[in-house]
A and B are shown apart, each in its own frame.
Chain A
């Protein structure tokens, strides 16, 4: 099976090379048959890299520890589903996964465009996709081979890091990768459009679904990463502004900016240059993300350490950057449009300012992430830029962004009249003022939380207003009742209202983040059996202690009874775990969650006399982060559900 994996990987590399060769030959000779051959070669690359990936899965499942990668990330005691997820636990496997998914995506594009081969842009799309596949396959063939063999057969593997033995491992890395990989498709179409000069909104429309799907995957990946970090002690809570977390957040911000201005290009055929810049930047930043994880230039609990791949990814990024700048400069004249943004009071204008803030956030995060390197170069001193820095610098920018999120729906396209704006603005503004005053009256007087909650109210009010206006208009037009008109409005205009649902989800996340970060409380205590500790309105009584073995771990668990204002809410059981392959014990968090607050308990210490040390936190409104996240993803999915094709007779 090792040979199958090795050979398939090589054949996949050859097929990606053949794609490039045939497409280039087709372009030079102006012969569609060559391009068709190139298109079919993409299927070959996808097929053989799939075979190679199957081989690696097989080697994990059959415990073939002579394969160095399998021995490093698996052992006999590892549960089956973690053996499967070990595929992407290390650098080499994750790179194979990247190449595999990219080839499959490219094969989907090749299949969907099978009747468009004579189209001027399509050969260049194939060329770019094949180039990217070839780059990744080259790395797999040369310095990052997951099929490398050890000179002996170890009796067992080293096993998977205990922190990776979490359900998050099943979904978080693949979804994040799919997000990164997906942006290769709009990037390829953008390059093709600039190369051929077909610079109208066609490429934006053709890639809209790919862009939104990639954005959804990236969003899911980031959220699942946050959820995993929250439940797995040692990764700093749901968001720690760790360099690798930032590496996924930066392209997400730029892609979000692009999603907004792409709408303007579709509707008004303007901002062509800007959209090109954004999509190129998004793709380069996706590569930058994987460069950070694999280069070892920054210290992070998430990275793979130095892998020898840094230089290759750096070179790839530089090539992408130079090529991108060259194409933009070359086609700048053709991309300049006659149409313009006509007024500050227009939706286009608010989209532009929203883009500026999103890019400022991306820049600030990128700058903070790489500042330790800059500081070391300039001053010779190694400094750390962590969570408090990003909170301090990015919070005002986020608040500005929320303000724009609220303002945007109030302003119409092209040029809104002041009277119209006043009319739309009045109710949300009044509601926000009442809300802010009420909050302040109840003691929420800290500046940032008050502004954040007030802006959240403002955005929610504007979104509710939009839903209300739309429902009323539909009721008037169709004579439907509100209960019928409301869901039909959302279904009929799913792109628009899907977008609003995404915004609503985002604001719900903001409320959760504000509540849980500004108003959390924490206590620590050491307890003997029968003793209690108090935190806020909660009382925790330590009742019993048990030891048991499960799969590849020994577990020490304390049972605590939770009381709130004297009412018994049941038991909760934080754990200490000793994994067979780990040198240090791990601490499993125990969480009691509802919409109002999370009771978050960890047990950092246990003595032989079964005395336990507890560290307890009450995180207000934290569950809102997950609720908002689900809404964001659902809104995104709603926005890309295709419309039913109208019959010709209609």
Chain B
């Protein structure tokens, strides 16, 4: 057991050492691409600015560069462009009005899915324990049941 622990710890330290090479040195200030990916080109409608290479996009990039140099935050820059070109210029819908549906729906879906899965397993679990539904156990001889249990316990090895 100790050996396993030691080896596992050594492996982890090696992985950690690799990550160490990228310590906070790289956690830098606001950069162009962070802002670019949040905007679309005002000329090529719907095309993210980090992909776009047209003259209109170049103008926007120059403005962003200036604003970053002036010390503006990402939100301030996005607000500036939204005020100028409207909500459609953003690649991330503002969290207001109907847009909230886009943010909430996936998590609501997940929560509903998890609840249903929990309830199903609970229902099935109770059924299996109480024999509330017709289970396969009732139809089998105990010998056969033992055999099936043995087979199932071997599944981990044979899967």
Q: Assess whether B27 is in contact with A519, with CB atoms less than 8 Å apart.
A: yes
Mark out the residues of chain A between 433 and 491 whose CB falls within 8 Å of any chain B CB in the assembled complex: 434-435, 438-439, 442-446, 453, 457, 460-461, 464, 468, 470, 473
Q: Assess whether A234 is in contact with B12, with CB atoms less than 8 Å apart.
A: no
- Chain B residues within an 8 Å CB radius of A197: none
Q: Assess whether A364 is in contact with B106, with CB atoms less than 8 Å apart.
A: yes
- Chain B residues within an 8 Å CB radius of A343: 121, 125
Query: Chain B interface mostly helix, strand, loop or mixed?
Result: helix
Q: Assess whether A431 is in contact with B98, with CB atoms less than 8 Å apart.
A: no
A153 within 8 A of B: no
Expressed in whole angstroms, the minimum distance between the Cβ of B32 and any Cβ of chain A is: 7
Q: Assess whether B109 is in contact with A364, with CB atoms less than 8 Å apart.
A: yes
In the complex, the number of residue pairs spanning A and B with C-beta atoms less than 8 Å apart equals 225
What 1/0 mask marks residues of chain B from 89 to 112 whose CB sits below 8 Å from any chain A CB?
Answer: 111110001110111011101100
Partner of B51, one of A240, A460, A520: A240
Partner of B48, one of A387, A430, A596: A387
Closest 5 CB pairs of A and B: A386-B91, A364-B106, A340-B124, A299-B46, A356-B113
Q: Assess whether B121 is in contact with A341, with CB atoms less than 8 Å apart.
A: yes
Q: Assess whether B121 is in contact with A234, with CB atoms less than 8 Å apart.
A: no
B144 within 8 A of A: no
Q: Assess whether B117 is in contact with A356, with CB atoms less than 8 Å apart.
A: yes
- Chain A residues within an 8 Å CB radius of B90: 383-384
B120 within 8 A of A: yes
**A113–B125 alpha-carbon span in the complex (Å):** 40
Interface size class of A (residues with CB under 8 A): 35 or more
Beyond A363-B109, A443-B24, whether A387 also contacts B47 by CB under 8 A is no
Q: Which residues of A contact B (CB under 8 A)?
A: 233-237, 240, 263, 267-268, 299, 301, 338-344, 349, 352-353, 356-357, 359-361, 363-364, 367-368, 371, 374-375, 378-379, 381-389, 392-394, 397, 400, 412-414, 427, 430-431, 434-435, 438-439, 442-446, 453, 457, 460-461, 464, 468, 470, 473, 493, 495-496, 515, 519-522, 524, 536, 584, 587, 596-597, 604, 617-618, 620-621
- Chain B residues within an 8 Å CB radius of A364: 105-106, 109
Q: Assess whether B46 is in contact with A384, with CB atoms less than 8 Å apart.
A: yes
Partner of B102, one of A368, A446, A515, A522: A368
Beyond A338-B135, A340-B135, A381-B87, whether A301 also contacts B47 by CB under 8 A is yes
What 1/0 mask marks residues of chain B from 28 to 56 whose CB sits below 8 Å from any chain A CB?
Answer: 10011100011010000111101101000
Expressed in whole angstroms, the minimum distance between the Cβ of A111 and any Cβ of chain B is: 30
B63 within 8 A of A: no
**A519–B159 alpha-carbon span in the complex (Å):** 39
14 contacts between A and B (CB under 8 A): A236-B50, A340-B135, A353-B114, A384-B40, A384-B46, A386-B91, A388-B38, A389-B92, A394-B106, A414-B152, A431-B8, A438-B13, A439-B16, A443-B27
Partner of B37, one of A339, A386, A519, A597: A386
Q: Assess whether B22 is in contact with A431, with CB atoms less than 8 Å apart.
A: no
Partner of A522, one of B16, B23, B33, B128: B33
**A434–B16 alpha-carbon span in the complex (Å):** 10
